Amino acid sequence: MLNKLSQEDKFLISFSGINIKEVDFDLIKPNLDWDYILTNAYRNGIIPTLFNNISNFDNKEVIPVHVVSKLKNSYYANLKNNIKLIHEFKFVADVLKKENIDIILLKGIYLSSLVYKNIALRQIGDIDILLKENQIFTARKILLDSGYQEVGIPYTKWMLRNSDKIWRHIPELIKDDIVLDIHSHLLHNNPLTKEFTDLVWKTSLENTVEHQKVLTLNPELDILYLSYHLGSHLEMNQFQLRTYQDIAEIVRLYNKKINWDELINRAFYFKLNQIVGHVFYIINAYMNVSIPEHVLRRFNTGSQSKYNNSFITLLTCTDNPNNLQQISSFNKIRRKMKTISNIKGFSNKLHYIRGYLFPSIEYMSLYYNTTNRLKIFMYYFLRLLRLK
């Protein structure tokens, strides 16, 4: 499969991992397009691992000085940001623990500490936690009283009261440029979301992240959740190589402990078999991740040429071309329709549609940064024209 890729893309894939033994240093050539590599490394969220792997290369003089300098600066900027996020997470965990509110740590911080084994090696955008549904608004009030603010407000007050049921998380909270996402359910727009989330709580594991005791997903459910999350971004043509690498590193770390038959059964039961099959195909074919043969056969990865082509297209697409934007717009509409179909009760569906088409004046004022009522009403018409 790699023969379809440029030397630069092969380089990006090889240097995106954390295992130095898996890195192909022979791919480093003086004639590589280093500007392309830098641009796509940023876009794919793999600057930290790229710099870390290059640091272990003996013959660094073949790499332009400005490239190494930019990678180094980004690496340490990421480390600084991650330290700040982890410190804030500990604060959040302690504040909620005092009120007997359990949390499950998701994605970034958990992955950087427990999977990548080095908090500098993975970019973390925000803090993601899962709370129990009956505690989510209590936690929201505690955090608002602790210095957090809501990034924005939902379209209407009804949407605020029901935000965890519509989007599976409440509106983002922010403090000192740190964004906190509080989820009440996982697998948004999946009819089995509640059952999956209940299973996550039932099978969660106790771990220690940077000296903080936390709950995390077990490896099988984590692979399913991260595959689902990757798939939801692919639907919007929001591609990052890092998301594949996350799952690749989990499989490498827990390969002998993973209950593959259980993973297969749950992937099919929760209707995640297509995206999981796609992920396994990609990390097996491109990242040298060992997936048992019977697992690959069960997911029918031998017929994944369509996904293979889409992976190559998105990997090599520095800018978002017009045809991908059109697909993305179609998928946005489809996801919006799926959200509506999952809202229970006809009157609730109407509440959502009305709120989406005609948000509250408070929302419009905040979104368009104006208090002028005439301008706000004009923006209502503009919004309808631009709505996709």
One-letter amino acid of 30: P
| Predicted pLDDT at 326 | 45
Helix, strand, coil percentages for the chain (3-state, nearest 5): 60, 5, 30
Q: Give the pLDDT of residue 364.
A: 76
* Cα separations in angstroms, 211 against 87, 100, 122, 231: 11, 19, 18, 32
CA pair distance 110, 3, nearest whole angstrom: 34
pLDDT tens by residue, 115-128? 999 999 999 989 99
- In this prediction, residue 337 carries a pLDDT of 67
pLDDT of residue 361: 77
Amino acid 191: pLDDT? 84
Q: What's residue 156's pLDDT?
A: 58
pTM for the full model? 0.82
138 neighbors 101 (Cβ within 8 angstroms): yes
Closest by alpha carbon to 278, among 233, 319, 334, 318? Answer: 233
Contacting residues for 208 by C-beta, under 8 A, at least 6 apart? 214
Low-confidence ranges of the chain (pLDDT < 70): 1-3, 151-170, 301-307, 317-343, 362-363, 366-367, 386-388
pLDDT given for residue 233 in this prediction: 82
> Given its phi and psi angles, is residue 237 left (phi above 0), alpha (psi -120 to 50 degrees) or beta?
left
Residue 258 pLDDT: 96
pLDDT, tens digit, 9 for 90 and up, residues 228-237: 999 888 877 7
Backbone angles phi, psi at 184, to 5 degrees: -110, -25
Beta bridge partners of 186: none
Q: What is the pLDDT of residue 241?
A: 92
